[in-house]
Structure 1
Amino acid sequence: MEYEKNTWDFLNQFTQARIAIGRTGTSLPTHFLLHFRLEHAKARDAVYSILDKNKIKRDLLPSFTIFDLQTQAQDRLTYLKNPNQGRRLSPTSQELLQKNTNHLLSHEVVFVIADGLSATAVNAHAAPILNQVIPYLQAKKWEVAPICLVEQGRVACADEIAVLLKAKIAVILIGERPGLTAADSMGIYLTFQPSIGTTDERRNCISNIRPEGLTYPLAQAKIVYLLEMIKNKQLSGVALKDEEDLPTADFIKEIM
Structure 2
Amino acid sequence: MSAVPERPAADPWEPLRGLTQARIGLGRSGSSLPTRRVLEFRAAHAAARDAVHEPLDVDGLVAALGELDLGDVAQVSSCAGSRGEYLRRPDLGRRPAGLSAVPASDADVGIVLADGLSPRALAAHGPGLMAALVERLGATYSVAPPVIATQARVGLGDHVGQAMGVDTLVVVIGERPGLSVADSLGIYLTHRPRPGLSDADRNCLSNIHPPEGMGYDAAASVVTALVAGARELGRSGIALKDSSRAVAAVDGGGA
Provide the TM-score with structure 1 as the length reference. 0.87
Whether the 8 Å CA contact 1:21–1:32 is kept in 2: the answer is: yes
Pair 1:28–1:247, CA change in 2 (3 A): farther
Q: Deviations over 1:61-112 (max 9, x none)?
A: 1343210111111210111111111111113xx2222xx32xxx53311100
Alignment match, 1:136:
136
Whether the 8 Å CA contact 2:225–2:242 is kept in 1: the answer is: no
- Tell me how far 1:34 sits from its aligned partner: 0.6
Pair 1:137–1:215, CA change in 2 (3 A): closer
Pair 1:84–1:247, CA change in 2 (3 A): farther
Alignment match, 1:176:
175
Alignment match, 1:216:
216
Q: Name structure 2 gaps, 5 residues minimum.
A: 1-7
Trace 1:90-129 onto structure 2 (pairs within 5 A). Answer: 90-91=97-98, 94-97=99-102, 100-101=103-104, 106-129=106-129
1: distance between equivalents of 2:213 and 2:36?
24
Trace 1:145-160 onto structure 2 (pairs within 5 A). Answer: 145-160=144-159
Q: Which of 1 and 2 has greater Rg? A: 2
Alignment match, 2:5:
none
Q: Deviations over 1:208-234 (max 9, x none)?
A: 000111122211211112112112222
Alignment match, 2:13:
8
- Aligned to 1:248, the other structure's residue is in SS state helix
Alignment match, 1:242:
242
Whether the 8 Å CA contact 1:46–1:120 is kept in 2: the answer is: yes
Give 1:192's aligned amino acid. Answer: H
Pair 1:55–1:237, CA change in 2 (3 A): same
Whether the 8 Å CA contact 1:222–1:246 is kept in 2: the answer is: no
Give 2:114's aligned amino acid. Answer: A
Alignment match, 1:254:
none
* Percentage of identical aligned residues: 39
1: distance between equivalents of 2:137 and 2:207?
23
Whether the 8 Å CA contact 1:87–1:157 is kept in 2: the answer is: yes
- Aligned to 2:101, the other structure's residue is in SS state helix
- Aligned to 2:74, the other structure's residue is in SS state strand
- Aligned to 1:226, the other structure's residue is in SS state helix
Pair 1:246–1:22, CA change in 2 (3 A): farther
Instruction: Determine if the alignment matches structure 1 residue 52 to structure 2 residue 57.
Output: yes
Whether the 8 Å CA contact 1:72–1:89 is kept in 2: the answer is: yes
Give 1:162's aligned amino acid. Answer: G
Alignment match, 2:77:
70
Q: Name structure 1 gaps, 5 residues minimum.
A: 252-256
Alignment match, 1:230:
230
- Aligned to 1:181, the other structure's residue is in SS state coil
**Aligned residue pair count:** 242
- Aligned to 1:219, the other structure's residue is in SS state helix
Give 1:87's aligned amino acid. Answer: R
Match of 2:44 among 39, 42, 59: 39
